[in-house]
Structure 1
Amino acid sequence: MLKKLVLTGAAGRLGSYLREPLSNMCEELVSTDITDDIGTLYPNERFAQVDIAVYDQIAPLLEGADMVLHFGAIVDERPFEELLGPNFVGSYNIWEAAHQHGLKRVVYASSIHAVGMHKKADFIGIDAPHKPDTFYGLAKCFSEDLGSMYWDKRGLESVCLRILSCAQVNNPRALGSWLSYDDLIQLVTRAIDTPSVGFSIVYGVSNNDRAPVDNAKASFLGYRPKDNAEQFAEAILADAAPADLTDPGEMCQGGPFASVELGKSATKSMNIVNDKKKT
């Protein structure tokens, strides 16, 4: 069992599903968020309200930790100036604090939006070059490159989880991009318990028949998703409008993020169900 794990973004929807399994993997789980409450804590969990954009707030919490799971960010497209603190500076603070405190690994919630302008038909692998669809995606590219550089220059391991869409399946794109919560937990677990990862990228996607990305070169992590969005296909496609083949949102990996104007919200049009786990 690990001694200590730190989770950022603990108040978020994905964080709500990760807290319990993470608490079972370590003696102490430190959950952090900018909000003032994350609900009832698990027996070995403590909460710290911090702003990851402020180094002196987040850095002390990493002392004595084995790994940090960095899920904290603004999770939408915004003007660059709004993303600069939490999504860019926040990532630097995490990697630098992890280095300063001698952590073994950073597990980072990256995103398909780091490669969002690639065509879905290209079936890209983990070695696809960065092709961000938004400032939000650009922050993911920056953070992945931080992870690569800190491994090359300082020996700090990273696993970057390029999550496609971890939310209820309610649109045609999600038939390929869905990551179930159970598969999310397995993905994070493998990112933690694989003995050696160096700098690694893996797509966060379930075992969907229509998955538009290739995880073959990340197979050493042992991530073997079990869920398949095809179970929802008949109902979803029965109500779906014909695809607009001129719309980047239909043709590119990033979905609505690929067609939205820079700096404007992409999630407003996505009908994401907030089925956050209650504690």
Structure 2
Amino acid sequence: MKKLVLTGAAGRLGSYLREPMSRMCDELVSTDLAQDIGKLYDGERYVKADLASLDAMIDLLQGADMVVHFGAYGDEAPFETILGPNIIGAYNIWEAAWRNGVRRVVYASSIHAVGMHPKTDFIGTDVRHRPDTFYGLAKCFAEDLASLYWDKRQVESVCMRILSCAQVGNPRAIGTWLSYDDLIKLVQRAIDTPVTGFAVVYGVSDNDRVPVDNAKASFLGYRPRDNAEQFAEKIFAEAGPLDHQDPGNMCHGGPFAAVPLGDSGLAVLKVVDDTKKT
């Protein structure tokens, strides 16, 4: 491809996508709110831009073949905090894509769009929205926006409902882990699949205890390889018996299903910051 755009390039997940994406195109435009993102890869340039500015997104997406949209406020927060980057920002990405003739938006959605479903339900990609937070609600909005822009304006979208893309550190992650290698594979398949229309796929590795069903997204050719079962014995021993009445243990959204609206879910998860350094 001639040009790909990556939003959220300064974030933890974005840091692992920059190098492989730079090898898929002549020009990779990485963007975020940070002043810089360190050393750039061959063919990559960095543009500081605000998702909440439609004009900035229109300029950014000029001439792009596709945009991989990972930019967002990445945790539960009061609605006013979520509104700008996650909701208005999503509209600006799809609107800018349409105005510029961009073929496809590859979107970092989340399990939190369906996080209040019981974890004992093996849910598919067509399960109804059931957000667990304002953060999850914004993911529902963006997925519906993607569907609308496909139906009315023929902008393709692949909405990747990412489960737990971080180091395995709790019992839930034994089923929900998405390794960085599998994340890269998922994004590559979302980009290089010839035709997608509007599609939803779960971002999860090949875990023995995976709680979601990707059968209806098999056309993407995403075949994960990593398995969190290697961590199970140690993690379960350290955690001890879990409270079966705690929504954080019983719902797909984990701690996000248990925290009060507006309160951080990541604070409970204690995610390790292993951002890739260039």
The two structures have a TM-score, normalised by structure 2, of 0.99
Q: Secondary structure at the match of 2:26?
A: strand
How far did 1:268 drift?
0.5
Aligned residues: 278
Asked if 1:72 corresponds to 2:71, the answer is yes
How far did 1:137 drift?
0.1
Q: Secondary structure at the match of 1:122?
A: coil
Q: Secondary structure at the match of 1:161?
A: strand
| 1:137 aligned residue | 136
1: CA distance, partners of 2:96 / 2:86? 16
Q: Secondary structure at the match of 2:28?
A: strand
1:110-154: CA deviation from partner (whole Å, max 9, x where unpaired) = 000000000111110000000000000000000000000000000
Q: Secondary structure at the match of 2:120?
A: helix
Alignment-mate amino acid for residue 226 of structure 2: D
Asked if 1:165 corresponds to 2:174, the answer is no
How far did 1:238 drift?
1.2
Alignment-mate amino acid for residue 231 of structure 1: Q
Which structure 1 residue ranges, 4+ long, deviate > 2 Å from structure 2?
none
1: CA distance, partners of 2:60 / 2:130? 33
How far did 1:58 drift?
1.8
How far did 1:57 drift?
1.4
| 2:188 aligned residue | 189
1:15-73: CA deviation from partner (whole Å, max 9, x where unpaired) = 00000000000000000001111110012000000110111112101010000000000
| 2:216 aligned residue | 217
1:263-278 to 2 correspondences below 5 Å: 263-278=262-277
How far did 1:241 drift?
2.4
1:88-103 to 2 correspondences below 5 Å: 88-103=87-102
Alignment-mate amino acid for residue 124 of structure 1: I
1:153-212: CA deviation from partner (whole Å, max 9, x where unpaired) = 000000000000100001100000000000000000000000000000000000000111
Percent identity of the aligned residues?
A: 71
1: CA distance, partners of 2:196 / 2:265? 33
1: CA distance, partners of 2:155 / 2:268? 38
Asked if 1:121 corresponds to 2:120, the answer is yes
1: CA distance, partners of 2:268 / 2:112? 16
1: CA distance, partners of 2:23 / 2:156? 22
CA RMSD of aligned residues (A): 0.5
Alignment-mate amino acid for residue 269 of structure 2: M
The two structures have a TM-score, normalised by structure 1, of 0.99
Where structure 1 has 5 or more consecutive residues not aligned to the other structure, the ranges are none
